[in-house]
């Protein structure tokens, strides 16, 4: 779970974050941290919609690469 300090840092700096929910990159949520509580985080997406996500997801700066453990398996040729 992401810490309050890390969320506060992302919010204060206006850092665009990527929330990795599963191995499919299409399911990632990209946006800015708006608010949070003990169990969830509010993210404002680029289209200005706001989504509520569980704090147990992986939060990272958008500029960082996706974690390798969340990569789709490569298809055999």
Q: Is-contact 17 61, C-beta < 8 A?
A: yes
Helix segments in 1-77, DSSP class H:
4-13
Domain-located, residue 75 = no
Q: Is-contact 52 42, C-beta < 8 A?
A: yes
Domain-located, residue 71 = no
Q: Write down the pLDDT at residue 75.
A: 52
Domain-located, residue 76 = no
Q: Is-contact 41 33, C-beta < 8 A?
A: yes
Name the residue range of residue 31's domain.
Answer: 4-63
- Give the chain's domain count: 1
Domain-located, residue 17 = yes
Residue-averaged pLDDT of the chain:
92
pLDDT tens for 44-77 read 999 999 999 999 999 999 999 998 888 777 654 4
The torsion angle over the Cα atoms of residues 43, 71, 61 and 39, rounded to 10 degrees, is 40
* CATH number for position 19: 2.30.30.100
Whether pLDDT at 38 is above 50 = yes
């Amino acid at each position: 779970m992401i810490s309050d300090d890390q969320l506060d840092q992302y919010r204060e700096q206006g850092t665009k974050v990527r929330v990795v929910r599963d191995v499919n990159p299409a399911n990632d949520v990209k946006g800015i941290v708006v608010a949070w509580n003990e169990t969830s985080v509010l993210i404002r997406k680029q289209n200005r919609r706001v989504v509520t996500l569980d704090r147990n997801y992986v939060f990272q700066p958008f500029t960082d690469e996706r974690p390798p453990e969340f990569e789709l398996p490569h298809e055999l040729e």
